[in-house]
Structure 1
Amino acid sequence: MQQHTTAAPSADGTFTRYSPFFDEHYHSTRDGAWLESLQKHVLPGLQLSHALERPRIRVLDICFGLGLNSLATLWYLEQQQYQGHVHIIAPEFDRELIASLPAHPYPQHLNHYRPLIEELSRTLCHTSQRCQVEILPGDALQSLPRLDHGSIDIVYQDPFSPAKNPELWTREYFALIAALMKDTGLLTTYSQATPVRMGLSENGFLIYDFHNQQPGIRRSTIASRIPLQDMTPIDMERKKERSPLARSYRDPGLTGNRLEILQRFQTSSG
């Protein structure tokens, strides 16, 4: 799909990459590639959902990219000596990126996942006794409708930013995601943008401002189908009344391109 630059360093000493196609890095260079995956997706996703209490965990990782969210999930479950089964499903548009992953400088504590990375780069899937990882090649909007409704425990909402990849941040897209999730499902995302939170709220999610445990890591967003213990959701109705930006990105039919979605947002009134 695209030419990729060499690995780019990030603040925590781990490496991400830069996408010329989207004109963005795959991770926050300020927060750090590894810490962003761990602190904004894996830890809140697994801990707030109490996933480790279940015999099976099903994760939707959007999108696979360099695989750090998925690898951090496997790493954390191993650290916690989780004895159940985890199934990770991850759309990814860029097949060339996946093929190049064995050459990426992953953190040293992921070295024993090298065989898994190499297998995924060749076959797009890995199956073992305790885990299954599937990469769905192509457009996520084409592959997601084929998944079973009500089957996902945790969604890592981690595409490129709404400004660069709005197709995966619209109200209609989040309706698709909501249909795939269990009633107890939880979604994590790095984005704090009001249009993103509105799109989630309009699909029945409770929205939480998440303060990450790691010092220096910026806040993120948690969206849950059910109330979370000891956390207070954002009053999205009040936000809508007070903010002119309190409206979601729209893509009726899920067929719009980046320019169409952004233009529709700029000209809409709510």
Structure 2
Amino acid sequence: MPAPPLLKRDWQKDHVYLIQFPRAGCIPTLSPFALKLETWLRMAGIQYTNISNEFKKYSAKRQIPFIEVNGRQIADSNFCIDHLTESFHVDMDSQLSPSEKAQARAFHVLLEESIRWIVVYNRGRNNKFFATPEGFAGHMTGVKKLYFKTVAIEQFRKKIVKACYSQGIGRHSLEEVEKIAMKDLLALSVFLADKPFFFGSKPTSLDATAFGHLTQMYYTPLNSDNLKKYMDEKTPNLVAHINRMKSLYWSDWDDAIRELSLTTHNTPKTTDA
């Protein structure tokens, strides 16, 4: 199979180009996978540049996000992290034992194959906020804005509904889906306990994954406020974890969503902060 054409043709050696959706108004990205990957890059200290996909540029696998590095395109956030871990000799999980790595894998799957679909399910029921200032409205004017609001997001919503039904979660009621979410959140909360990060005092790739997905549930509009209330009241340690990760790796969070900018930068802090 021929290599896919690069978006960044004048690339610099050992510099990562992260292609993702434009910024949103309620969270830096409405993609949990993009937020996970960008957070991981910041944790690893790898230099990168964001590139907007302009709602139309995708990887050869038709996925967002993806990266380009040293003239290669790597699709899927997990394969991106695997490639960067090997290429840049940065292992965020080096301190974990085989047993801990097994636990991390289990919770990774819970986040990406359950929590993720709960958020997707909600957007399949109602994704109108995409066309408001909480979503992407700040990037559009005139006819483009009208088309996005009246046509594009409904087409996208129908695709979400179809995907959710095929996956299985779309066959359930909102109440049933929220019960699944609460069980998942409780499991994560029990495992986190009173630790600053999931495996102690040092963040690992699981912390990046959890941050990418839990922030979607906590900060973006859902069909009810039941899950946000549950997190505040029943799993406050998960909310504290979100805030801790934001403080460490997203000092520019507010700037990113206010300016809708892909060029803001974090001011690094230590994990003792």
Give the TM-score of the pair, scaled to structure 1.
0.29
Q: Which has the higher helix share?
A: 2
Q: Which has the higher strand share?
A: 1
